[in-house]
Chains A and B, each alone.
Chain A
Amino acid sequence: MKFHLVRPALVLASSLVLASCGGGGEESYQVKVTVFGLKYDQLTLNTNGQDLVVHPAAKAGDTVVSYFPNGLSYGTYYNVLPKANGQPAHQTCVSATQYGYPREYGTAGQTASLESARTPAIEVFYTCLINSYAVGGNITGLNSDTATITLINGSNSQITVTGSTTVTPLPFAFGNKVDFDTTYGVSVLTQPVGYNCTVENGTGTINAAVETAGKVDNIAVKCTKL
């Protein structure tokens, strides 16, 4: 909200400064990129024929600020996007909305820098999230349209599935996906009435193999009638 008022004031201030200077040389607008949450190498962004490679901070995940090598002249259109295959390993970075509107594209000089009207800059924000994957599998032997089983992934996720006399095996997947390099452990919280179910392949870590497969779908819940 505030910035709606501040921005025109800054623009006005800077135009007054320029006017008092009588124009002068051509202004160059630096492209400043702030990346949040980057933990893995490496994010490659591109705009106006320039690449910017962003590495994680010394403490992975800390905010990284860097600049494209060359500034842009006033009025130049820019659109700062990840290159093809430019996303870091195990993460996806997206343009972060800051101060209420997207900032990855525009024209140089369109907005004054938030830092100072005297240091023109283009500010771009990216946020990187750890990739997450669905965890699930199949239930067999629960041949009842009324019996329900409640499965949990530790304290992280819970799902209740009703058996079926027509569909077998019965697929399931937890609502919460699991981040890369994070463990999952599936167990039965509530057994279906009249059945006993056990879990196979229920515990693991989201690793490179899961990334390649795109999900965990090999958890086998085997139920037998009591």
Chain B
Amino acid sequence: MKSSILYAGAALACALGLSACGGGDGDLPLSVTVNGGVTKDGLVLVNKSNGDEVAVPANSAGVSFPKYLSTDDEFNIDVKTLPTNVTGCTFTNNKARANYYTIYTLPPTVTCTIKTHDLVVNVTGLTGSGLVLVNGADKQPVAAKGGADVPVPMAKVPEDGPYGITILSQPDTQNCVVRNGSGTMSATGPSSAPVVECGPKP
């Protein structure tokens, strides 16, 4: 509703003969707000309407395209390349005609989704009951399988993010220790597979 009013206003301004409206170098900076998910270099955005490109550095809050737009220029922002740890990015307000409203009031935003990977803890020698493993806020109770190895799938972990397995509660009749409990999730999985070894109480 509002944009159509401004659009009409802009058109009126043009009709009144304001020279600034006629293409060429404008004075509207086309910026994109980064809402999250860019933890690594590699994201390049393109304005498909004029071929202008901008690289988004890791942890950036926002970027601006080098070329300025004139009132009423179309813009259509899309992804040219993705960081290696991102599955995809979504936009809002990325396709419009440039005016005060589309540039300043509701500027384009981009949100990227980081890839996640399985984190499986191998529990060995467990015969008791009550073992609970946590990775921060992720809590997983573990049921024994008569001493056989139990693979425990934890919640998936974002690529390049840390994980740290600790024991919230020990089994009633045993004592367990964590090996290789913390590390960084890589594209191929945890840096070293976490293991929980259970044995007699000391």
Tally B residues with Cβ within 8 Å of A. 24
- B1 at interface, CB cutoff 8 A: yes
Q: How far is the CA of A199 from the CA of B178 in the complex (A)?
A: 12
Report if A189-B182 is in contact (Cβ < 8 Å); known contacts: A154-B138, A203-B134: yes
Q: How far is the CA of A203 from the CA of B131 in the complex (A)?
A: 13
Binds B, one of A116-124, A140-148, A177-185: A177-185
- A220 at interface, CB cutoff 8 A: no
Q: How far is the CA of A2 from the CA of B4 in the complex (A)?
A: 12
CB-CB under 8 A from B161, the residues of chain A are: 155
Q: How far is the CA of A156 from the CA of B184 in the complex (A)?
A: 12
Tally A residues with Cβ within 8 Å of B. 25
For window 174-205 of A, CB contacts with B under 8 Å fall at 178-179, 182-189, 199, 202-205
Q: A183 near B164 (CB under 8 angstroms)?
A: no
Q: B162 near A155 (CB under 8 angstroms)?
A: yes
Report the minimum CB–CB distance from B184 to chain A (whole Å).
Answer: 7
Q: A185 near B135 (CB under 8 angstroms)?
A: yes
Binds A, one of B44-52, B80-88, B165-173: B165-173
The prevalent SS among residues of B at the interface is strand
- B125 at interface, CB cutoff 8 A: no
Q: B137 near A183 (CB under 8 angstroms)?
A: yes
A-B contact count (CB 8 A): 78
- A153 at interface, CB cutoff 8 A: yes
Q: How far is the CA of A10 from the CA of B162 in the complex (A)?
A: 54
CB-CB under 8 A from B2, the residues of chain A are: 1-2
- A15 at interface, CB cutoff 8 A: no
- B139 at interface, CB cutoff 8 A: yes
What is the chain B residue whose CB lies nearest that of A185? B166
Which of A5, A156, A178, A186 contacts B166 (CB under 8 A)? Answer: A186
- A134 at interface, CB cutoff 8 A: no
**Interface residues, chain B, with chain A CB atoms under 8 Å away:** 1-2, 134-139, 155, 157-158, 161-168, 181-185
Given contacts A187-B166, A189-B184, A203-B167, 7 further A-B contacts (CB under 8 A): A156-B136, A157-B136, A183-B136, A184-B134, A189-B162, A189-B182, A189-B183
**Interface residues, chain A, with chain B CB atoms under 8 Å away:** 1-2, 5, 152-158, 178-179, 182-189, 199, 202-205
